Structure 1
Amino acid sequence: MLIGKKLCVLISLLVNVLLLSKYGVYGNEHVLPLAADKIVLVTGGSSGIGRGAAEYLVQSCAAEVHIVARAAQQLQTVKDALQGLNTSCQHKTKVFVHPTDLSNVSQVNELFETTLADVPIDFAVLCAGITGFLGNLIDTPDEIFRNVHDAVNNNFYATALALRGVLRIMAEQESGSIVVISSDNGVSSSPGGSFYGASKAALINLVKSVAVEVAGYGIRVNGIAPGLINTPITWNQARYPALQPYQCLSEENTTLTADYTCDEPECVCPNLSREDYYNIEPISEIVASWPIQRIGEPRDIATMIMFLLDERLSSFITGQIISIDGGLTAEP
């Protein structure tokens, strides 16, 4: 009964966020949109959940959206795509891109101490992450433990560095709201993906601990634990079990292939079609067993991100992790 009530509350919140994003608070069109005049930082914004969040923020009339990721060329493509999205806003959102390896301390310090030093960040969405090695720990080769581009370094360490940079800016302002993207694999056990699951579980503890540390500065920190979402990182998980370098999808045929690989830690591969997706094992079986039998979309995550960011909607919420997974974690 308690789980059912929690689900009803979450569904109600999501419906409210969708209505609010269109009509303003309580249907009043004169109330500012959710991100109006806000300056927002999005890490991992070149694809997947991060890009979906950036799109939603632009459509919600943010003043500035700063996107951070490794791939400079892909960032420019995203910037070009976002420029014309907020046609219904009173002003045009300024989109900035910052090619940065967030696992590199020097680059992160340069980003926050120089590039963004005078940027008063109101909101931050920390999405950067990778799948990394998928396989049982007993079979994990030595190379994975030495690979600085794998999940633990990129998902936890890099996010912690970015979070520190954002917190230092927000602490001076004595205000701010941050959403960190973890994973359902960090909420429950992750057989065959222990490195990935452990890195995401570490983020959950980081969110809860830091939220308490910075509450006195007027900063709220929350997290989201997505299930399977329609993003490149999900398609790469579909080729389980995996080895380095990461196996990607055929650009020409949009099918899984062992011939097309990506050595970059942020391995963004051409997507399968939705029809092909449901034929991939074991994902098709997983989706069929969920209460809501579909894969999630980046927008499903973006609406909750907006709810958690906005002070008008969630000012009494901090240190919380919200699972968005089609009801998977609600099952006994």
Structure 2
Amino acid sequence: MEFKDKVVLITGAAGGIGLAAAKKYAEQGAKLSLVDLSQESLEKAAGEIDAEKLLLGADVTKEEEVENYVRQTKERFGRIDVFINNAGINGDFKNIVDQTVENLDKVFSVNVVGAFLGLKHVLKVMIDQKSGSVVNTASNGGLLGAPGMSLYVASKHALLGINKSAALEVADYGIRVNAVAPSGVDTAMMRSIETNAAKGHEEEARKGFEASVPMNRYATAEEIADLMLFLSSDRASFITGSYYRIDGGQGATSV
């Protein structure tokens, strides 16, 4: 029960990696504050999680709603020990010459602005208590390029830059900030990516994505959540400002 009575705040908690992480922290005895855009989806997804929990619908791109989810978490539990800064979208895939400013704004508002706002307000709580651990959900797209995915890739590069800067800003307060950088994960987001890449030929797209991974498969959400638990635990007490690839060996194929 490594996280017994620890307070864990997770955004994007209604599915995929966020929900998998919530279940694993609950198994470790944590108290959960779970945030997602849809309160209804969140209540449905989290219904079977056996833990003391607070469920909060919020748009992570709006500062007043971010302030509210942080405030309600602090009022309910008194502190925030772990922040899984996980909410994100992939947006529409198009080559740069065909992309729109509207899609750029949409992707960056969630993946960059939303992550930034979460850090801004959660770190205030952690600075006051002089402790805490943050895990940002980045992507191997934050380390590589990908045709048609320039906006998503750029947003995850930006998030890794914020991750490093945040870690340096709060190191003196005993707060650690790290990121996970997965390759494809077998979640609803990956289904959307497959459709974006080859609408009507999703199975072929999946086979192609999996073939690009030396282990010839997607990661599971639970595998990503396990890394999050490690990075937010006392076993990672001297790790901060880092990102960790979890990509089935994909990163080993590049320089």
Q: TM-score, normalised by structure 2?
A: 0.94
**Is the 2:138–2:160 contact (alpha carbons within 8 Å) kept by the matching residues of 1?**
yes
- Please identify which structure carries the higher helix content: 2
Q: Is structure 2 residue 218 aligned with structure 1 residue 321?
A: no
Aligned structure 1 segments of 4 or more residues deviating by more than 3 angstroms: none
Q: Paired residue for 2:218?
A: 295
Q: Paired residue for 1:151?
A: 107
1:100-119 pair list within 5 angstroms: 100-112=58-70, 114-118=71-75, 119=78
The alignment partner of 2:208 has SS state of helix
Shift of 1:35: 1.3
Q: State the distance in 2 between where 1:175 and 1:222 align.
A: 14
1:128-207 pair list within 5 angstroms: 128-145=87-104, 148=105, 150-207=106-163
Shift of 1:36: 1.5
Relative to structure 1, the CA distance from residue 280 to residue 111 in structure 2 (aligned partners, 3 Å threshold; closer, same or farther) is same
Q: Paired residue for 2:79?
A: 120
In structure 2, list runs of 5 or more residues that go unmatched.
none
1:203-214 pair list within 5 angstroms: 203-214=159-170
Relative to structure 1, the CA distance from residue 151 to residue 144 in structure 2 (aligned partners, 3 Å threshold; closer, same or farther) is closer
1:210-225 pair list within 5 angstroms: 210-225=166-181
Q: Is structure 2 residue 46 aligned with structure 1 residue 79?
A: yes
Q: Paired residue for 1:48?
A: 16
Shift of 1:117: 3.6
1:239-272: CA deviations, max 9, x gaps? Answer: 1248xxxxxxxxxxxxx77xxxxxxxxxxxxxxx
Relative to structure 1, the CA distance from residue 209 to residue 298 in structure 2 (aligned partners, 3 Å threshold; closer, same or farther) is same
**Is the 1:287–1:293 contact (alpha carbons within 8 Å) kept by the matching residues of 2?**
yes
Q: State the distance in 2 between where 1:110 and 1:142 align.
A: 29
Q: State the distance in 2 between where 1:299 and 1:144 align.
A: 30
Q: State the Cα RMSD in Å.
A: 1.7
The alignment partner of 2:244 has SS state of strand
Q: State the distance in 2 between where 1:168 and 1:305 align.
A: 21
Q: State the distance in 2 between where 1:309 and 1:105 align.
A: 25
Q: Which has the larger radius of gyration?
A: 1
The alignment partner of 2:87 has SS state of coil
Shift of 1:142: 4.7
Q: Given residue 98 of structure 1, which amino acid in structure 2 is its aligned partner?
A: L
Percent pairwise identity? 33
1:91-143: CA deviations, max 9, x gaps? Answer: xx20111100010112112222x413433011111110001121111011354
The alignment partner of 1:240 has SS state of helix
Shift of 1:288: 2.2
Q: State the distance in 2 between where 1:77 and 1:171 align.
A: 33
Q: State the distance in 2 between where 1:319 and 1:154 align.
A: 21
The alignment partner of 2:120 has SS state of helix
Q: Paired residue for 2:36?
A: 69
1:205-238: CA deviations, max 9, x gaps? Answer: 1111110110001100000001100111100000
